[in-house]
Amino acid sequence: MQDVNLKGLGVALVTPFKQDGHIDYAALSRLVDCLLQNGVDYLVVLGTTGETSTLSSEEQKTIVQSVVSQVKGQVPIVVGVSSNCTRTVVQKLETGDFTGVDAILSVVPYYNKPTQEGIYQHYKHIAAATPLPIVLYNVPGRTVVNMTADTTLRIAHECPNVIAIKEASGNLEQVSRIIREKPSGFQLVSGDDAIALELIKLGAAGVISVIGNAFPRQFGRMLHLALAGDYAQAQMIQQQLTELFELLFIDGNPAGIKSLLYQQGFIENELRLPLVPAQASTNEKIREAFILFEEKFSL
C-alpha cells in the first residue's frame, strides 16, 4: 500500500458539461491545468461536486483516465467509489482499473439507513477488496446517517488501509474525539470549506474543497498558513471568502461553484438533471462577491 499524504488542499473536481449535455473534456483539462499550476496538494475525482451520480460508468472511467493521464503523478489522485450496496463497491474495486489512482474515497451508504454495525461491516468488506488506501466520507446531510466517532475509530484501528476520513458532519466534538483517539498516520480532513480553518486548529490535515476549484492559490495559501500555525494570516483570507462560502451553497452544490467557474471563464454553466444551475439572483450575488474578492487579492 502506497503512502498517501492528504495534508493541505484537495480539490473535489467539478465535471464540466457542454450545452448539449456531453462532458466538456477540454474544459476539464483547462481546469486541472490551472489547479496544478496553482499548487493544489491533491485532486479528488468522481466526488459529489463532480455530479458522479449523473455519470454513466463509461463516462466515469473516461474522466478518471483523462485526469490520470494529464496529472502524470504530479499530485495524488483520489477517486470516489461509492454505493449503498456493499457488494457493488466491492465488485468495482475488484474489477476496475485503478492505474495511476492513489486512494479511494467512499461515502457512508446512503438512503437505506444502515446501523453503525452495518456501516462498520460495509467498510470492512471494502477494505478487504482492495490494497489501495481508503478515505472514509461522513456526510450525514446527504446520507441521512451519521457515522459516529466510535465507528470511525473502530474502522481506523482495525483496517490498516483505511488512512483517513473526510468529515462533513459539522460536529466539532465528534471531530475532536476522532483526532484525539485515531491511530498514528490516520488523517482527518474537513469536508466543509467554511470550517476548514477551525478543524485545522483542532488537528485536521486540511480539506477536500469545493471553492478550491476557483481559488486554488488563495485558499491553498490559507490552509498552509494555518497548518504552519499562522492563524492570524489565515484568518484574514478566511474572512474575505466567508460570503462566497455561503453563496456557493444557496442553490446547492455544485450549482454555486459552477456559476463561479463560468464567470471565471473556465466552464459552461451546465448541470445534469435533476440538478439545475443557480438562480439568476444567486448568480448576481456570486458575481459581485467574486469581483470584490478579485479586487482585494488581485487574481
Q: 105 - beta bridge partners? A: 80, 135
Active site (annotated) includes residue 201? no
Residue 271 covered by a domain:
no
Residue 292 covered by a domain:
no
Residue 1 pLDDT > 70: no
Residue 16 covered by a domain:
yes
The domain containing residue 186 runs over which residues? 8-239
Contact 249, 49 (CB under 8 A): no
Exactly one of 137, 258, 262, 285 is catalytic; name it.
137
CATH classification at residue 146:
3.20.20.70
DSSP 48: G
Per residue in 125-137, pLDDT (tens digit) is 999 999 999 999 9
Exactly one of 166, 182, 258, 285 is catalytic; name it.
166
Residue 264 covered by a domain:
no
Per residue in 162-186, pLDDT (tens digit) is 999 999 999 999 999 999 999 999 9
Per residue in 201-248, pLDDT (tens digit) is 999 999 999 999 999 999 999 999 999 999 999 999 999 999 999 999
Q: Which of 14, 59, 7 is nearest to 32 (CA)?
A: 14
The contacts of residue 154 (CB under 8 Å, 6+ apart) are 120
Per residue in 19-39, pLDDT (tens digit) is 999 999 999 999 999 999 999
DSSP 17: B
**Residue 15: CB atoms within 10 Å:** 28
Q: 103 - beta bridge partners? A: 78
Residue 249 covered by a domain:
no
Q: What pLDDT score does 293 carry? A: 87
Active site (annotated) includes residue 7? no
Q: Is 247 helix (H, G, I), strand (E, B) or coil?
A: helix
Is the previous residue joined to 254 through a cis bond, with omega within 30 degrees of 0?
yes
| Average pLDDT rounded to a whole number, residues 82-103 | 97
Residue 259 covered by a domain:
no
Residue 114 covered by a domain:
yes
Number of domains the chain contains: 1
Sign of the C-alpha dihedral computed for residues 106, 108, 111 and 115 taken in this order: positive
Residue 245 covered by a domain:
no
Per residue in 195-212, pLDDT (tens digit) is 999 999 999 999 999 999
